[in-house]
Structure 1
Amino acid sequence: MELLGVPQGPYRDNIDDAQQDALRLKLASYDEEGRLYLDAGVELKWGPIVALAAA
């Protein structure tokens, strides 16, 4: 998750965890119908996390 291009939390490999991070940091909220809205400038980015194996 990024706020104006600056990372605000750990990288996540699924959208649900990224949304929960945004809610915990008060960068998102739900409307009365249960839809998630991100604050202006917040962007969720997710993808596979690639880790190198220890040698």
Structure 2
Amino acid sequence: MRCARCIWTTTATTPLHPEVYSLMCRFMKDTFGNPSSIHSYGQEAYTHPERVVTRC
């Protein structure tokens, strides 16, 4: 069967849980450092996801 568009994964199309969406929006709005950097913005970006994972 040929199709014009085939999607083999649901990762990009699965709806997010509302709490996860809210946390992600807050993180993307407030945290903008490169997590690989050693300055404070980078360190915040590096450690913030760890706090979110332990909270959820």
TM tier relative to shorter chain: under 0.3
| Greater radius of gyration (CA) | 2
Task: Compare the two structures and name the one with the higher strand fraction.
Answer: 1
Taking structure 1 as the reference length, the TM-score comes to: 0.27
Task: Compare the two structures and name the one with the higher helix fraction.
Answer: 2
Considering Cα pairs closer than 8 Å and 6+ residues apart, tell me whether 1 or 2 has the greater RCO.
Answer: 1
